[in-house]
A = this chain, B = another copy of it.
Amino acid sequence: MYEVEVKLPADHERVRRRLDELGAAHEATVEQRDTYYDAPHRSFSETDEALRIRRVRRDGETDARVTYKGPLVDDASKTREEVETGVEDVDAMARVLDRLGFDPVATVEKRREVYALDGYTVVLDAVEGLGEFVEVERESAEIDAAREGAFDLCRDLDLDPDDQIRASYLELLLE
């Protein structure tokens, strides 16, 4: 299975109106705060790795997880190892990383609204310091078909697939 994802800048109010007209189901709204770390003994921007603590607030509840992302295994398929676990005390986890010599290098904060439509997940991200984005995504073994479907869905939402951006929010923030 592959994660097929199309991301583009978009005005949320207009997209929400279209989602409503098309009968999309609002599934969740969460606030995410991601802190990215660099290692004391190598540079993750050079090794193409990432270490992240994500704090998620949802319906007044908070949970958190720590995630390691390995370098791209294969550039064409954008496959990388991702290892993740929930943690009970996120401040303690951050302190452990600090004591081990890992430095926070960037924070990505966003408000994320999640909708379901036609087998796709449509995500409206309001990213602090970057603005409003929409992601259309699904898991599929059929990459090309899934991507074409995502492009069609973008058009249904009055969005132009050519506006697609491939950089991560972290990369956009560090630019």
Contacts and interface: CB of A to CB of B under 8 A. Distances in A.
A45 to B, nearest CB: 15
Contacts of A65: 88
Contacts of A93: 66, 85
Copies of this chain:
2
Nearest to A86: B88
A48 interface: no
Interface string A88-105: 111011011001110000
Interface of A: 39-42, 49, 51, 65-68, 70, 81, 83-90, 92-93, 95-96, 99-101
Q: List the 7 closest A-B pairs by CB distance, nearest first.
A: A86-B88, A41-B41, A85-B89, A85-B92, A68-B96, A83-B95, A40-B41
Given A66-B93, A86-B87, 7 more contacts: A42-B101, A70-B99, A81-B99, A85-B87, A85-B88, A85-B90, A86-B89
26 contacts: A40-B41, A41-B41, A42-B101, A49-B99, A51-B100, A65-B88, A68-B95, A68-B96, A68-B99, A68-B100, A70-B99, A83-B92, A83-B95, A83-B96, A83-B99, A84-B89, A84-B92, A85-B88, A85-B90, A85-B92, A85-B93, A85-B96, A86-B88, A86-B89, A87-B88, A88-B88
